[in-house]
Amino acid sequence: MFFVFRIIKGLIGLIFKLILLPLVLVLTIVQCVCIVAAHLSALFFNLVGGIFIITGILSYYFELEPIDVMWRMIASGTALYILPMLVREFAVWTALIKETLMIRLLT
């Protein structure tokens, strides 16, 4: 009787591993896409975000715009500057989930 339970447990483990394997492959592809997108867009978004921040500060300094417009420009520049970092963090989280699933597959 114990032998039958052991066989059933082994089959359930094998089925579980076969189900998780495509999920690991999908997470690997998502991770690679996020890393490539973050690296390709980082230069553009950091440059544009920096220009927004500098323009906001200089427009207030030279009294071209009121202070509320300056803060909106700084907030927009910061959001653009942080966007590639958020994509990289998403890639890190997918890598963490993938590694957790790989540990589960190997045990």
The answer to whether the beta carbons of residues 57 and 69 sit under 8 Å apart is no
> Tokens 């590639």 — which residue?
84
Of 102 and 55, the one with more pLDDT = 55
What span, in angstroms and rounded, lies between the C-alpha atoms of 45 and 33? 17
pLDDT at 14: 85
pLDDT at 103: 84
Of 12, 27, 31, 32, nearest to 101 by C-alpha is: 27
Q: Where are the domains of the chain?
A: 24-106
What's the pTM? 0.66
Q: Which residues in 1-107 belong to E strands, given as ranges?
A: none
Segment 1-54, tens digit of pLDDT: 778 888 888 888 888 888 888 888 998 898 888 888 888 889 899 999 999 999
> Coil, strand or helix: which one is 42?
helix
pLDDT at 88: 86
pLDDT at 47: 94
pLDDT at 68: 93
* pLDDT for residue 105 is more than 80: no
What span, in angstroms and rounded, lies between the C-alpha atoms of 69 and 52? 11
